[in-house]
Structure 1
Amino acid sequence: MKILETNLKEGRIKLRVENLDDLWYLKSLLRRGDRVAGIGHRRIRDEERIRADKGERIPVFMEIKVEEVEFSGYINRLRITGIIEKAREDLIPLGSYHTLNIAIGNEITIIKEWKKWELERLKEIEKLSKAPLILIACIEEGECEIAIVRSYGVDFVARITSSATKKRAREFNAEMKKFYHEIARKIGEEIKKSDLKIILCGPGFTKENFYKFLKENYPEIAKLCYIEATGCGGRAGVQEVIKRGAIEKILEESRVTLETSLVEKVFERIARASPLVAYGMEEVKKALSYGAVEHLLVTDIFVRQKKGECDELIEKAERLRSKVIIVSTEHEAGEKLQSIGG
């Protein structure tokens, strides 16, 4: 994400969306009642033509008051729905509803009363967007799960299988080579989309064999690879790599790894009935009143649904200089935190 213009006196910040992660971060920043200005496409009918005329979709600059925000990683879009407050009145009736479809490369302006934590979050987002993403390929004989670890969670992009069997060595070797080429092709597609570093993991020696294959056939991919052993394959193997902190060995800062580590500590302390953890609104408020909070964890869902209560908690934590972490519910740890109230 690139911050293009800032006018805090008017509460206006203009941004450019540069990758898929930025779209999710925008969802976590936007709340009901905020205003968003950008280019929307509206169907304009020519009233002088026949009634069957459906009109022409044209680009129109507009400002809407946000009512609903929906992120879709599958179509790489952020849908912002609200009431049109500013636009060309000769084209669009003010007060009507419209959905802005925000995609990578689009520019929008957010108008709101910015909280201190929101501005800090925005700076953090801009910094994180410049870091490379991690691709994890969890490989075992006959199966490979490929995932991208994004700032907001884990995106499982492909599952590649092979029918290779060791009954006939020649056929097995040919099938495995075909299997490896297919994995390399998919990884190559993802490299074209994003700046990546790659972790090859999985049980047994298949990952080492695949790495050797890459060095011989796809050296440009092999240069990006790190190898990690796991006790299991598939999606469980991907989660094992994340929980173990292997990503931190490659990147100085990984948002998903940080959030996962902190949430795991919360549940470890809950399991031990430790006095060094508080969860639930009343218990957290009590801990803050005692000035005894090092990290305040809140989920993105809590931020959007409990606006007043959330702002109160975060502002108290900031006065105490506690570290505030907004945890994404797009990954496993965030779902666990949401399950105990967010």
Structure 2
Amino acid sequence: MRVGFGRDWVDFVVEGDDDLYVVYLIVDRGDLLYGWTVREFRGSSGERGERVRVYVGLRVESLEFHAFRGSLRIGGVLVDVPEWFEGAKGSHHTMELMRGLEYRLVKSGGVDRELIGRILELFSGASVRVLLVSVSMEEVSVALIRRFGVEVLGSVSVSVGGKGEEDSLDRFRRSFRGALVRVKQWVGLVGPTHIVVVGNHMTLSLVRGLVEEGLGGLGVPIIYFEQGEGGLAGVYEFLRVGGDVLRKLNLDLGQGYVDEVFRRLGLGSGDVAVGVEEVRRALEFGAVDTLLILDETFKELGEVVRGLAGLALRTRANLFIVPVSSEAGERLRGVGGVVALLRFSISS
């Protein structure tokens, strides 16, 4: 995303889905957003008219980010419109951000360049899209993994039961080839940068050649990862154990950090802080090594959480935003959405 800063504003150009997520994180209710949009022009008598392209200023009231549809809709009240656009000022409007257009975001309290810079840094690898293909002898489950979350796309049943003279393995291979047709459709739909195929040792040995035959010509690198489960259960297992594979692709959902939080909580060692007040106290002591914030909490608590994030950056703590649509995010939500791994215990 291309950005330019002023004292109380930041100009940006959206270039991809990852940029939409960054904008979602940095825009707050009450901000002013300027940019081109399409609005229906009504005459003085109120009759419906043509839709026109117009440059407006919008006071933000709501945001709707749809990660896997690749859209960000920002709703609010029009506060700045051309003079010729009669009756539009003060009315509600929704802008859907478009790629390639420049927008200006104005914040009355000033722009926190350091925090925005850190968010840009955190999601610089968000354009990595991993199509996870989890294979068992009963089903093939497929998920899309991105920096801002995980979406299970679906599952296709496969069969090992023989028909007539066809033995069970031949039946499986034929059924698996059929499942790969659907996987190819998902590849075309989401445009992954990498394909990761997972399953147990026996299943991967059976399907590797078939995967290369069916998907190898698509020009997408294929990685194989052996684990205990395949199918839908294998998707969730990979999210727990496949962190090293994802990190090598510059994709980290925070699973390792969250695992460490719960390990320390289980030990009762005191070198972890949970909740806004505990984390604030730890930051004031300079004890925070890594601050973890759920993206949902980052938006809901607004200035409170931004204050914690700013303090973390000033004390050279690591800041990590965890997507709610991931296993790590679901676990983090269970403890309030804000936790910190500490350099030392501050328990009294």
Within 2, Cα distance between the matches of 1:67 and 1:223? Answer: 41
Decide whether the 8 Å contact of 1:299 with 1:338 is kept in 2. Answer: yes
Counterpart check, 1:270 vs 2:265: yes
Counterpart selection for 2:177 from 171, 176, 180: 180
Equivalent residue of 1:254, what SS?
A: coil
2:22 maps to a residue whose letter is: Y
Q: Choose which of 78, 85, 94 in structure 1 pairs with 2:79.
A: 85
Contact kept, 8 Å, 1:76 with 1:103, in 2: the verdict is: no
Structure 2 residue aligned with 1:147: 143
**Does the CA-based 8 Å contact 1:117-1:314 persist in structure 2?**
no
The amino acid that maps onto 2:300 is Q
Deviation at 1:126, TM superposition (A): 6.2
Q: Is the 8 A contact 2:133 2:198 kept in 1?
A: yes
Residue 208 of structure 2 corresponds to residue 214 of structure 1: no
Contact 2:67 2:148 in 1 (8 A): no
Q: Is the 8 A contact 2:177 2:214 kept in 1?
A: no
Deviation at 1:40, TM superposition (A): 1.9
Which residue pairs with 2:187 in the alignment?
190
SS at 2:273's partner residue? coil
Cα pair distance change 1:157/1:292, threshold 3 Å: same
TM normalised by structure 1 equals 0.86
Q: Determine the structure 1 residue equivalent to 2:103.
A: 108
**Pairwise CA distance, 1:190:** 2.2
- CA distance in 1 between counterparts of 2:57 and 2:267 reads 51
Equivalent in the alignment of 2:315: 320
> In the alignment, which residue of structure 2 is the partner of 1:65?
59
Secondary structure of 1:212's counterpart equals: helix
Q: Equivalents in 1 of 2:160, 2:205: separation in Å?
A: 17
Distance (Å, rounded) in 1 between the aligned partners of 2:155 and 2:100: 29
C-alpha distance in 2 between matches for 1:141 and 1:170: 16
The reply on whether 1:28 has 2:5 as its aligned counterpart is no
Letter in 2 for 1:59: R
Give SS of 1:93's match: coil
Which of 1, 6, 11 is residue 4 of structure 2 equivalent to? 6
Give unpaired runs (5+ residues) of structure 1: none
1:55 is the counterpart of 2:49? yes
Compute the TM-score of the two structures, normalised by the length of structure 2.
Answer: 0.85
Amino acid at match of 1:211: R
- Per-residue displacement from partner, 1:15-71 (whole Å, max 9, x unpaired)? 22313x3323322222112222222221223457xx7x5322222221211111111
Runs of 4+ in 1 over 6 A off after TM superposition: none
Which residue matches 1:137? 133
Give the 3 Å change call, closer, same or farther, for CA 36–249 of structure 1 in structure 2.
closer
Structure 2 residue runs of 5 or longer lacking an equivalent are 338-348
**Partner of residue 127 from structure 1, selected from 101, 124, 128:** 124
Shift of 1:166: 3.2
Question: 2:209, 2:191 → 1: CA distance?
Answer: 24
SS of the equivalent of 1:199 reads: strand
1:304 aligns with 2:299: yes
Pair 149,291 (structure 1): closer, same or farther in 2 beyond 3 Å: same
SS at match of 1:89: coil
Partner of 2:330: 335
